[in-house]
Amino acid sequence: MSQPKTAAAPKKKAILTDTVTNKTMDLPIIDGSIGPSVIDVRKLYADTGYFTYDPGFTSTGSCESKITYIDGDEGLLLHRGYPIEELAEHSNFMEVAYLLLNGDLPTLEEMKKFEKDITYHTMVHEQLSTFFRGFRRDAHPMAVMCGVVGALSAFYHDSLDINDPHQRMIASFRLIAKMPTIAAMAFKYSMGQPFIYPKNKLSYAENFLYMTFAVPAEDYQNNPVLAKAMDRLFILHADHEQNASTSTVRLAGSSGANPFACIAAGIASLWGPAHGGANEAVLAMLGQIGDKKNIPEFIKRAKDKNDSFRLMGFGHRVYKNFDPRAQVMRKSCHEVLGELGVKHEPLLDLAMELERIALEDKYFVERKLYPNVDFYSGIILRAMGFPTSMFTVLFAIARTVGWIAQWKEMIEDPSQKIGRPRQLYTGHTRRSYKPVQQRG
Ligand code: CMC
């Protein structure tokens, strides 16, 4: 189980019979190291003239990967073989970043060098602060992130050549290092406060909290419990195999686009409420519910197919048992509130009651809908002092590591091709153009 391997040469096959032509075709079955095997349909169109049809990719593997493994039925999440609970408990975000990027945990020397490489790149080009001023003061920080991260490709011309391994590495370091700086700048800009330069003696999480919450007029003291909680939150969001934003990064990168543009595309995809935007949506929903006595009404609405309301922070495409990240997050939530001396947080009480009622409800039980990573993260972040508009930004900081690792893996894969799905066309068949005067 621990040894990664390249997908084995296929010995098993699936046989496809076309009942129209009575022809059969052998489709190789490829085994991974763990998890479901895949039916290799790459030659299907050439041999039969058929495409496969799978909107939402519910049964489609889009790539071979050695980075992250999820068993949704078991509630298992492994990064390079290591369970997320162990990483969240014993590791730190920089070490997890190294692991995701390089495949193994670092030695002490490797770790020191990696941290030095990352911290060397924490500052952003000074002209970027001018770029910020083009945004409206009330711009959503995710809009700012999409724009500014995309714009990095206009500032760092010496790391755009994706065919040069050294430039790929520098671009990766730059993105991981600069994301917290840019995110903190987005926050400061919205607050009308001066940007704070990074301080490289601080850890990744500490530095981010410092750039976000320090002001030049006051001394700033990092709270180690909150820094640890921030670091853990980054670990829990670092990667999640081929989710929507990661697939977006891979697809954008498959055309040879530069890494800064690809990560900007990932940020855009993450923003949606069905994905990373759910953490912001959870708090909005808890606010809307307002009181425990209103929970049954909202549960009823979530079950009503004619109502667009869904329980945000509930359900997952892959996890059909529990989301292991949500369990760590729930524990962390209690720790953070304890540290901050919050004896009674009505939102947490409301969230726990909502979870309890939903998990006893037949609708949620039958559909295997459990709280996901976003359900409790918003409560932690709010307690730390982040406005809800920053929640998905924090997700983006952490996921940048996963995006980069997946992008790098794709670029280094010799079988890599431009991503180009096909379709089931159901529009008009060929028809002739009519001048406007002849259209009825
Ligand atoms: N509330 C009420 N019903 C739900 C919910 C929900 N949150 N999620 C799924 N369902 C129902 C859905 O209506 C469907 O019912 P039926 O079979 O009767 O038609 C069934 O459960 C299956 O749902 P689905 O939409 O086919 O599942 P999916 O895999 O396409 O969607 C999801 C997964 C995460 C988008 C969805 O569960 C959802 O919208 N959840 C709320 C948003 C959320 O919390 N997103 C964060 C996901 S975790 C972090 C991340 O990925 O960024």
Instruction: Render pLDDT for 108-150 as a digit per residue (tens, 0 to 9).
Output: 999 999 999 999 999 999 999 999 999 999 999 999 999 999 9
- Predicted confidence at residue 307, as pLDDT, reads 96
Q: Is the CB of 369 under 6 A from ligand 1?
A: yes
How close is the Cα of 312 to the center of ligand 1, in Å? 8
Q: Say how far apart CA 367 and CA 346 lie, in whole Å.
A: 28
Which pLDDT value is given to residue 205? 98
> How much distance in Å is there from the Cα of 367 to the middle of ligand 1?
9
Is pLDDT at 318 greater than 50 in this prediction? yes
- Asked whether 373 lines ligand 1 (CB < 6 A), one says yes
**314, 392, 397: residue to mutate for ligand 1 pocket, most atoms within 8 A of CB:** 314
Span 277-312, pLDDT tens digits: 999 999 999 999 999 999 999 999 999 999 999 999
Q: Answer yes or no: is pLDDT of 9 > 60.
A: no
Ligand 1, atom 15, lies closest to the CA of: 367
Task: Tell me how far the alpha carbon of residue 363 lies from the centroid of ligand 1, in angstroms.
Answer: 12
Query: Is the beta carbon of 284 within 6 A of some atom in ligand 1?
Result: no
Question: pTM here?
Answer: 0.93
pLDDT of amino acid 360: 94
Greater confidence, 377 or 210? 210
For residues 357 and 367, what is the distance between their CA atoms, to the nearest angstrom? 15
Q: Is the model's pLDDT at 3 over the cut of 60?
A: no
> Does the structure show a pLDDT above 80 at 2?
no
Residue 345's pLDDT is: 83
Q: How confident is the model at residue 4 (pLDDT cuts 50, 70, 90)?
A: low
Identity of residue 147: G
pLDDT grade for 5, boundaries at 50, 70 and 90: low
* Identity of the highest mean pLDDT range in 224-228, 247-251, 275-279: 247-251
For residues 246 and 267, what is the distance between their CA atoms, to the nearest angstrom? Answer: 9
3-state secondary structure the chain: CCCCCCCCCCCEEEEEECCCCCCEEEEEEECCCCCCCEECCCCHHHHHCCCCCCHHHCCCCCCCCCCEEEECCCCEEEECCEEHHHHHHHCCHHHHHHHHHHCCCCCHHHHHHHHHHHHHCCCCCCHHHHHHCCCCCCCCHHHHHHHHHHHHHHHCHHHCCCCCHHHHHHHHHHHHHHHHHHHHHHHHHHHCCCCCCCCCCCCHHHHHHHHHHCCCCCCCCCCHHHHHHHHHHHHHCCCCCCCHHHHHHHHHHHCCCCHHHHHHHHHHHHCCCCCCCHHHHHHHHHHHHCCHHHHHHHHHHHHCCCCCCCCCCECCCCCCCCCHHHHHHHHHHHHHHHHCCCCCCHHHHHHHHHHHHHHCCHHHHHCCCCECCHHHHHHHHHHHCCCHHHHHHHHHHHHHHHHHHHHHHHHCCCCCCCCCCCCCCCCCCCCCCCCHHHCC
pLDDT tens-digit series, residues 72-95: 999 999 999 999 999 999 999 999
Q: Which amino acid is at 414?
A: P
Q: What are phi and psi of 284, to 5 degrees?
A: -60, -40
Q: What is the pLDDT of residue 1?
A: 46
Q: What is the average pLDDT value for the chain, to the nearest integer? A: 94
Predicted pLDDT of residue 348: 85
List strands edge to edge, sheet with 68-71. 68-71, 76-79, 82-83
306 phi, psi to nearest 5 deg: -90, 0
77 lines ligand 1 (CB under 6 A): no
Q: Is the CB of 241 under 6 A from ligand 1?
A: no
Q: Is the CB of 242 under 6 A from ligand 1?
A: no
Report the percentage of the chain scoring pLDDT > 70: 98
Mean pLDDT of 316-331: 91
Q: What is the mean pLDDT of residues 256-279?
A: 96
Can you give the pLDDT at residue 341? 87
Measured from the Cα of 240, ligand 1's closest atom is 51
**pLDDT for 6:** 60
| Catalytic residue set | 316, 374
Query: For atom 28 of ligand 1, which residue has the closest CA?
Result: 317
- Judge if the beta carbon of residue 315 lies within 6 A of ligand 1: yes
